[in-house]
Amino acid sequence: MTEMLTQLLRPRQGPTTAELVQEPGRFGLGRVPSRVAPVATARSVCGFCATGCGLKVHLGPVGNALNLSPDSAYPVNLGMACPKGWEALAPLAATDRATTPLLRDPASGELRPTDWSTALNTFAARMKAVQEKHGKHSISFLSTGQIPTEEMALLGALFKFGMGGLHADSNTRQCMATAATAYKQAFGFDAPPYTYADFEESDVLVFMGANPAIAHPIMWQRVMRNPHDPRIVVIDPRRTETAMAATDHYAVAPKGDLWLLYGVTHELITRGWIDRDFVDAHTTGFAELSTFIADYSPERCATESGISAKRIRELATMIHRGKAVSFWWTMGVNQGHQSTRLTHALINLALLTGNIGRPGTGANSITGQCNAMGSRLFGNTTSLLGGRDFANPQHRADVAHLLAIPEEVIPSEPSLAYDQIIDGIESGTIRGLWVIATNPAHSWIHQGRFAALREKLDFLVVQDMYATTETARIADLVLPAAGWGEKDGTFVNSERRIGVTRKVTRAPGQALADFSIFKLIAEAWGCGAMFEAWSSPEATFKLLARLSADQPCDFSGITDYPFLQDAGGIQWPYPASSDRVAPPANTALNRLAPARPTATADVYQERRLFNDGRFFTPDQRARLLFEAPAPAPESPDESFPFWLNTGRGSSAQWHTGTRTDKSPVLRKLAPKRVYVEINPDDAAQLGIHNAEPVTIRSRRASITATAAVTPTVAPGQVFMPMHFAGVNQLTYAAFDPHSRQPSYKACAVSVGRT
């Protein structure tokens, strides 16, 4: 360990971030200090959202990042970027970066700087002590969708195969668990089928519970480039920026979506507006669905969905008339008490109407974080490396063989989900927690309960870029991590495109790449030899490519980072066997031209799944799944008369703000204080004026916010952005039973003048 540590901490060429901070204005919207001219450019992908835009980072004479611009040759963003992308370098220069490990001093109770050796030895000794006292499975980690796949895979492998842990999850549970679960159940694999070209090729686009104009601005730009004069339908209780720009807004009642979609399905089936050939050849469950849906006439669905029978029929007609209809969804669907079945209701619409596998179609989950897709495939939490199943002996044997590790170290039991890990901490079965690149003390649902858990943990480790996050401040040990731009690796974006992210500047002080931290922990734990082949991010990538072979996500044809980079990123699947003559079974390799291509930017750029109607289930048929709608676990009543909806507030704010709050440019573009949007009628009735402070109460907490009186929220509803810490004190911890994703967007509150 000592040798590895010395090597990693050896002063490297180029200035440190701290030195760069001394030159104000050096980062940002294209500002290059006059005396430093870029001498080279590195191509990278953005580390915020899952759009995965290509960025060109311009480097100074000593190889350090000066500024950046969007990459016009990258097939995702075509030269565009949103404010976060333009400002991606600014958070690296923040003054509150964690620059040394910090250990809580028992005497003073304060976090104090320590050296890496002490930090690593403490990590190993205290986690092992917890395991000895409370059992192997009494330690746990909560990780992320925001570090490269190579790091995520190393973490998952280290924890489960090296440290003997079992219970681990990531913030993708808060975000993508529903889409992943629904795809697995319906398609047999977690496989979003689309490519971004579909935004431009549909003539009807249905967005449900998605606000891409704010949350995925560059995807929205792709929609705006659509030349087919499309119908754009937005299903959202709020009149969002996306809804305003759409052709049709369906202001569905909060959590009324299942009723709406069942009304539409009823209309499609009773009118015979379905693609019977496709349904018969490629799906199962149609007879059962037809029987079930008979009870869901548009008239019956109107009351609960808040949408008139006439408009339900109009939506069915639009879908029927569309030549290429695509269905897109994000958190308004994934975060709900019945979210998996709601996702299936959308997937059913695509399957019933044969809108899948062709340009401009699909049942398409939009991903949130830059590498949520990598986390889903290689996090080694819910599924075994490469989208495999821990319970399947053959899968365990394959992984053991490929990694040259004993089969016995691979657990066969499933891990607890995030909320169950939290329950485990509450009940005392989980005593050691390691939090990597997520900030649950702000983002997890029902914070009051989360805060109380700190007392129950024997050891809390937080590995983050900043020592100031809500979670880092309550840790026993803080491990300082390098961030995006300070390390190499790959991300998998929303359309399954694997892209390379590059180290373009040095991490400050003694902060290390998460990859290096995991390697050092493996050494300190005594299992370093198991990860010898994982010698660098790129070596790990090659290992993962081999691990992906013969899986639906097979990318074994990608040889190395330069190949990937030259190609402008590559969407999986890209099997070695495609070599690269014919499309592999099960997939459509659209626009694939030459028989023996080289990896150039105009080859292999767009592909979608399922053009042959063959899915990844054992019988290759997709499943039509459904369930009767159930009321939300908490809904407004006399004492708490409003629905509280939460989500993204502005395109300049990222989640808990640890990164975006560090950019002066982004701070200017974002609201300063927590606010609550309330309808003018409700405000008038309560005597509330715009911009005055109000108190929001739920059964769990009460917080003060600034009133934003606006007709974009319907009467009886209020909306708060998730970027401010108090919001999750109000939320109610309900979960979808299949995906265990929290229902962040529906609880009951009261609003009153402060």
Ligand X SMILES: Nc1nc2c(c(=O)[nH]1)N[C@H]1C(S)=C(S)[C@@H](COP(=O)(O)OP(=O)(O)OC[C@H]3O[C@@H](n4cnc5c(=O)[nH]c(N)nc54)[C@H](O)[C@@H]3O)O[C@H]1N2
What are the residues binding ligand X (CB under 6 A)? 49, 144, 146-147, 171, 174-175, 208-211, 214-216, 235-238, 240, 252, 254-255, 257, 330-332, 368-369, 436-440, 442-443, 463-466, 469, 481, 483-484, 514, 645-648, 651, 653-656, 658-659, 722, 727-728, 731, 744-745
Q: What span, in angstroms and rounded, lies between the C-alpha atoms of 731 and 444? A: 9
156 lies in the site for ligand SF4, by CB under 6 A: no
Among ligand SF4, Mo ion, ligand X, none, what binds residue 304 when CB lies within 5 to 8 Å by partner kind?
A: none
Whether residue 498 contacts residue 569, with contact meaning beta carbons closer than 8 Å, is answered with yes
717 lies in the site for ligand SF4, by CB under 6 A: no
Rounded to a whole number of angstroms, the minimum distance from the CB of residue 276 to ligand X is 29
Structure tokens at 583: 């499309």
Q: What span, in angstroms and rounded, lies between the C-alpha atoms of 154 and 385? A: 10
Among ligand SF4, Mo ion, ligand X, none, what binds residue 440 when CB lies within 5 to 8 Å by partner kind?
A: ligand X
Q: Which residues of 541-566 are buried (b: 16+ CB within 10 A; e: fewer)?
A: bbbbbebbbebbbbbbbbeebeebbe
Give the DSSP H or E segment for 301: helix 298-305
Rounded to a whole number of angstroms, the minimum distance from the CB of residue 513 to ligand X is 8
Structure tokens at 464: 């983050």
String of contacts with ligand SF4 for each residue 199-238, x by CB under 6 A: ------------------xx--------------------
Q: What span, in angstroms and rounded, lies between the C-alpha atoms of 140 and 419? A: 12
| Residue among 624, 627, 550, 625 nearest 282 (CA) | 624
175 lies in the site for Mo ion, by CB under 5 A: yes
442 lies in the site for ligand SF4, by CB under 6 A: no
Of the residues 52, 354, 359, 528, which one makes contact with ligand SF4 according to CB under 6 A: 52
543 lies in the site for Mo ion, by CB under 5 A: no
507 lies in the site for Mo ion, by CB under 5 A: no
Among ligand SF4, ligand X, Mo ion, none, what binds residue 14 when CB lies within 5 to 8 Å by partner kind?
A: none
| Residue among 272, 265, 213 nearest 239 (CA) | 213
Among Mo ion, ligand X, ligand SF4, none, what binds residue 647 when CB lies within 5 to 8 Å by partner kind?
A: ligand X
Whether residue 18 contacts residue 508, with contact meaning beta carbons closer than 8 Å, is answered with yes
What is the rounded radius of gyration, in angstroms, for the C-alpha atoms of the chain? 25
Rounded to a whole number of angstroms, the minimum distance from the CB of residue 135 to ligand X is 27
String of contacts with Mo ion for each residue 333-372, x by CB under 5 A: -----------------------------------x----
Q: Which residues partner with 400 through β-bridges?
A: none
| Residue among 155, 166, 165, 159 nearest 534 (CA) | 155
Rounded to a whole number of angstroms, the minimum distance from the CB of residue 628 to ligand X is 17
E strand segments, 469-559: 477-480, 489-492, 497-501
528 CB neighbour count, 10 Å cutoff: 18
Q: What span, in angstroms and rounded, lies between the C-alpha atoms of 380 and 160? A: 8
Question: Residue type at 29?
Answer: L
- Give the Cα-Cα-Cα angle 367, 369, 375 (nearest 5 degrees): 85
Rounded to a whole number of angstroms, the minimum distance from the CB of residue 53 to ligand SF4 is 3
Q: Which residues partner with 44 through β-bridges?
A: 55
Rounded to a whole number of angstroms, the minimum distance from the CB of residue 175 to ligand X is 3
Rounded to a whole number of angstroms, the minimum distance from the CB of residue 213 to ligand X is 9
The contacts found for 597-600 with CB under 8 angstroms, 24 or more apart, are 598/566, 599/563, 599/564, 599/566, 599/567, 599/570, 600/566, 600/567
Q: What span, in angstroms and rounded, lies between the C-alpha atoms of 207 and 583? A: 30
| SS3 at position 417 | coil
Whether residue 104 contacts residue 475, with contact meaning beta carbons closer than 8 Å, is answered with yes
437 lies in the site for Mo ion, by CB under 5 A: no
User: Measured from the CB atom, is 465 or 498 closer to ligand X?
Assistant: 465
Strand 702-709 and strand 111-113: pairing?
unpaired
CA distances (Å), 533 to each of 19, 330, 490, 544, in order? 35, 37, 18, 11
Among ligand SF4, ligand X, Mo ion, none, what binds residue 419 when CB lies within 5 to 8 Å by partner kind?
A: none
Rounded to a whole number of angstroms, the minimum distance from the CB of residue 421 to Mo ion is 18
Total residues contacting ligand SF4 by CB under 6 A comes to 13
Rounded to a whole number of angstroms, the minimum distance from the CB of residue 598 to ligand SF4 is 27
- Of 46-54, 255-263, 305-313, 503-511, the window that binds ligand SF4 (rule: CB under 6 A) is 46-54
175 lies in the site for ligand SF4, by CB under 6 A: no
Of the residues 43, 56, 58, 84, which one makes contact with ligand SF4 according to CB under 6 A: 84
Rounded to a whole number of angstroms, the minimum distance from the CB of residue 171 to Mo ion is 7
Among ligand X, Mo ion, ligand SF4, none, what binds residue 552 when CB lies within 5 to 8 Å by partner kind?
A: none
SS (H, E, C) 138-156: HEEEEECCCCCHHHHHHHH
Rounded to a whole number of angstroms, the minimum distance from the CB of residue 441 to ligand SF4 is 24
User: Measured from the CB atom, is 150 or 398 closer to ligand X?
Assistant: 150
In terms of phi and psi (left: phi > 0; alpha: psi -120 to 50; beta: otherwise), the region of 446 is: left
621 lies in the site for ligand SF4, by CB under 6 A: no
Rounded to a whole number of angstroms, the minimum distance from the CB of residue 249 to ligand X is 11
User: Measured from the CB atom, is 51 or 382 closer to ligand SF4?
Assistant: 51
User: Measured from the CB atom, is 81 or 139 closer to ligand SF4?
Assistant: 81
Q: What span, in angstroms and rounded, lies between the C-alpha atoms of 734 and 17? A: 42
String of contacts with ligand SF4 for each residue 598-617, x by CB under 6 A: --------------------
User: Measured from the CB atom, is 279 or 747 closer to ligand X?
Assistant: 747
Among ligand X, Mo ion, ligand SF4, none, what binds residue 465 when CB lies within 5 to 8 Å by partner kind?
A: ligand X
Q: What span, in angstroms and rounded, lies between the C-alpha atoms of 73 and 294? A: 50
Binding to Mo ion in span 249-308, by CB under 5 A: none
Structure tokens at 196: 């971004």
Whether residue 507 contacts residue 62, with contact meaning beta carbons closer than 8 Å, is answered with no
Rounded to a whole number of angstroms, the minimum distance from the CB of residue 334 to Mo ion is 8
Peptide bond into 573 cis (omega under 30): yes
User: Measured from the CB atom, is 26 or 216 closer to ligand X?
Assistant: 216
| Residue among 551, 180, 508 nearest 392 (CA) | 551
Rounded to a whole number of angstroms, the minimum distance from the CB of residue 342 to Mo ion is 17
User: Measured from the CB atom, is 1 or 176 closer to ligand X?
Assistant: 176
81 lies in the site for ligand SF4, by CB under 6 A: yes
122 lies in the site for ligand SF4, by CB under 6 A: no
User: Measured from the CB atom, is 149 or 551 closer to ligand SF4?
Assistant: 149
652 lies in the site for ligand SF4, by CB under 6 A: no
What does the DSSP 8-state code read for residue 506? P
Among ligand SF4, Mo ion, ligand X, none, what binds residue 233 when CB lies within 5 to 8 Å by partner kind?
A: none
| Residue among 343, 204, 235, 324 nearest 275 (CA) | 324
Rounded to a whole number of angstroms, the minimum distance from the CB of residue 41 to ligand SF4 is 17
Rounded to a whole number of angstroms, the minimum distance from the CB of residue 217 to ligand SF4 is 5
- Of 76-84, 447-455, 503-511, 624-632, the window that binds ligand SF4 (rule: CB under 6 A) is 76-84
Residues that bind Mo ion (CB under 5 A): 175, 368
Residues that bind ligand SF4 (CB under 6 A): 46, 48-49, 51-53, 77, 81-82, 84-85, 217-218
